[in-house]
């Protein structure tokens, strides 16, 4: 009867460690992929009032000059 108790005790001690190791593995996977699950969208400043420099013709002339 002692041998049956020891095998039962061994089974009882093995089950929580297997479950906890699976939980630890699942938690580590969740932590690893947590950064990828965020969906914040594009970064937009609160005050997005940018003024254009010059007129349309000046901007085109500058672009042509830079693209030479």
pLDDT score, position 50: 76
Task: Compute how many other C-beta atoms are within 10 angstroms of the C-beta atom of residue 5.
Answer: 9
pLDDT band at 2, cuts 50/70/90?
A: low
Which uninterrupted H or E stretch holds 1?
none
Contact 46, 39 (CB under 8 A): no
pLDDT score, position 61: 96
Contact 25, 31 (CB under 8 A): no
Q: What is the pTM of this model?
A: 0.30
Express each pLDDT in 7-50 by its tens digit.
666 555 555 555 678 888 888 888 888 777 777 788 888 887 77
State the SS3 of 30-67.
HHHHHHHHCCCCCCCCCCCCCCCCCCHHHHHHHHHHHC
């Amino acid at each position: 009867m002692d041998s049956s108790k020891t095998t039962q005790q061994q089974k009882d001690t093995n089950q929580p460690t297997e479950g906890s190791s699976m939980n630890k593995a699942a938690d580590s996977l969740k932590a690893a992929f947590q950064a990828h699950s965020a969906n914040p969208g594009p970064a937009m400043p609160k005050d997005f009032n940018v003024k254009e420099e010059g007129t349309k013709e000046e901007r085109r002339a500058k672009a042509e000059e830079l693209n030479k």
